[in-house]
Amino acid sequence: MSGPLDPTIANFGYIVASALFIIGLKMLSRQTSARLGNKLSSLGMFIAVVMALLSQPIDDATRMIIIGVGLVLGTVIGAVAAMRVAMTSMPEMVAVFNGFGGLASLLVGWVEFERGRVVWGLPDESVGLVTLIAIFLAVLIGGVTFTGSMIAYAKLAQKISGRPVLFGGQRTLNAAILLLAIVCGVLFITGVLSPQAYIAFLILIGISLLFGVMLTIPIGGADMPVVISLLNSYSGLAACAAGFVIGNTVLVVAGSLVGASGIILTTIMCKAMNRSLQNVLFGGFGAAAGGMAGVEGEARPIDAESAYYVLEAARSVVFVPGYGMAVAQAQHAVRELADLLEANGTEVAFGVHPVAGRMPGHMNVLLAEANIPYEQLREMDDVNAQMPNTDVAIVIGANDVVNPAAREDEGSPIYGMPIINVDQARTTIVLKRSMASGFAGIDNPLFYKENTRMLFGDAKASIEALVGQMKDV
- Residues marked active site are found at 400
Q: Tell the burial category of 80 from Cβ atoms under 10 Å away from its Cβ (0-12, 13-18, 19+).
A: exposed
Q: What is the amino acid identity at position 427?
A: T
The contacts found for 174-180 with CB under 8 angstroms, 24 or more apart, are 174/211, 174/214, 174/215, 177/207, 177/210, 177/211, 177/214, 178/211, 180/207
SS (H, E, C) 129-197: HHHHHHHHHHHHHHHHHHHHHHHHHHHHCCCCCCCCCCCCCHHHHHHHHHHHHHHHHHHHHHCCCCHHH
Residue 359 is given by DSSP the state S
Q: Tell the burial category of 442 from Cβ atoms under 10 Å away from its Cβ (0-12, 13-18, 19+).
A: buried
What is the helix (H) or strand (E) element at residue 448, kind and residue range? none
Map residue 241 onto helix, strand or coil.
Answer: helix
Residue 64 is given by DSSP the state H
Map residue 317 onto helix, strand or coil.
Answer: strand
Q: Give the C-alpha separation, 467 to 462, whole Å.
A: 9
Across the beta sheet with 377-378, what order do the strands follow? 377-378, 347-351, 316-321, 392-396, 427-432, 452-456
The 10 Å CB-count burial string (b at 16+, else e) for 281-295 is: bbbbbbeebeebeeb
